[in-house]
Amino acid sequence: MSWELDNDRPIYLQLMEKIRQDIVSGIYKPGDRLPSVRELALDAAVNPNTMQKALAELERTGLVYAKRTSGRYITEDETMRKQLKTELAVSHIKEFLDKMKQLGFEEEEILFFIQKILKEDA
């Protein structure tokens, strides 16, 4: 698992984003047990306290839940997972559109490029 962290934003937020991404993409499936805080921290090369903070926030949102003495698990709430997937998609699309507009492209041009690339990939 690749953890690409930068110093421009809080590390725990980036850890949360990475774990969310892994849940949405299916790396972690509903009901899967997450590796321990120490294992995840070692893998991400961060302080275990920082990883603990990220996991606690994910727990607070309900995406992850803890079972006493047996670790943390991924929610089995399919509605929540689909909603998260939609939110991430919308966020990526808005970011993409903002960057394209900064480059000076109009909406029609952006749509043209998207359609062209989709046809090439088909």
* Residue pLDDT, tens place only, 2-13: 788 888 999 999
Residues 16 and 72 in one domain: yes
Q: Specify the pLDDT at position 1.
A: 59
pTM above 0.85, yes or no: no
Residues 72 and 85 in one domain: no
Residue 30 structural domain: 11-76
Residues 71 and 83 in one domain: no
Q: Specify the pLDDT at position 16.
A: 95
Q: Specify the pLDDT at position 113.
A: 92
Token reading at 122: 């088909």
Point out the residues of the chain with pLDDT beneath 70: 1
Number of structural domains the chain divides into = 2
Q: Which amino acid would we find at residue 49?
A: N
The answer to whether residue 114 is domain-embedded is yes
Residues 62 and 103 in one domain: no
Q: Any idea of the CA torsion for 53, 83, 95, 65, to the nearest 10 degrees?
A: 10
Q: Specify the pLDDT at position 51.
A: 96
The answer to whether residue 40 is domain-embedded is yes
Residues 54 and 95 in one domain: no
Q: Specify the pLDDT at position 29.
A: 94
